Amino acid sequence: MSRLVQKKVSPTKTARTLRIMAIDCCEHTLTVLERLPKIHLLSRDFKIPSDVVENGGVDLIVIGLARHPVRRFFISELRRFYSELPILVLRREQVAAGDNRERVRGEFVLSDQSNRNDCEIVCSLRKVMPFPACSHVNKTEDYDTVREVMRLLARMHTDPQLSLKKVAGKMPISPKRLSIILNNHVGVSFRQLLRHVRIEEAKRMLRTRRYSVKEVAAHVGFSDSHHFSRSFKEMTGQNASEYQEKSAVLS
């Protein structure tokens, strides 16, 4: 359940309040973040897309330890609403070979858009990184199932007729059960995942500038190029042709 946590500190002339949105972070992680001086912490569960439309007053997004292997999808969706903000993605790391203890490290994902606070934010978070991993946040029992879905989508997304039923048929699971896992446990539908995989592959192909937009649409599994164009614009904020042209300029 979402909760708002605000830490009060004495005002200073030099430090400014760092506003952090912590998504799917456990109580242990929230406690660590609260050690930072001068912060305003907003903690919430992550559901796509209705929960991420509050774009005002946030400096940093922190994504908690993975319960499901769909991080790239969530980051891509967040970028639709928070195009300039730095994102800190937390991950587990074994302390040393032969040592079962784990610690939490972080990877910053910075935007290519200008953000004058990036360096200040990164330096602030480094003060509390890494920190010991908590024992109560583990991979869910459905982790391997979702990972297999992502593997199959990467291999089968070019099929225009690909469906939840077809993917479930490649696994020891019923379509109904798979739908429940994705929608209720992960918070994302099969169609959303499939569209994400297709658009990510389309972006890669467009950057090569070897194919027309229509050819890319057909290759990644869209039988209708107009549907592809609408989906691409919705997910990236750009037309496919504009994306391709900008890729040419940057290269």
Which DSSP string corresponds to 103-164? EEEEEEE--SS--TTHHHHHHHHHTT-SEEPPSS----TTHHHHHHHHHHHHHHTT-TT--H
The Cα 43–Cα 225 span in angstroms is 40
pLDDT tens for each residue of 174-231:
999 999 999 887 778 999 999 999 998 999 999 898 999 999 999 999 999 999 999 9
Enumerate the domain spans of the chain: 3-132, 143-250
The Cα 114–Cα 139 span in angstroms is 35
Candidates 3.40.50.10490, 3.40.50.620, 3.40.1740.10, 1.10.10.60; CATH matching 143-250: 1.10.10.60
pLDDT at 13 over 90: no
CB neighbour list of residue 175: distance below 8 Å, 6 or more residues apart: 164, 165, 168
The Cα 154–Cα 238 span in angstroms is 23
Collapsed DSSP state (helix, strand, coil) of residue 210: coil
Q: Residue 206's pLDDT is what? A: 93
pLDDT tens for each residue of 123-133:
888 888 898 88
Nearest to 74 by CA among 127, 3, 140, 24: 24
The Cα 48–Cα 64 span in angstroms is 16
Question: Helix axis angle, 190-208 relative to 225-236, nearest 10°?
Answer: 90
Cβ proximity of 193 and 150 under 8 Å: yes
Q: What is the pTM of this model?
A: 0.63
- Supply the CATH classification number for the domain 3-132: 3.40.50
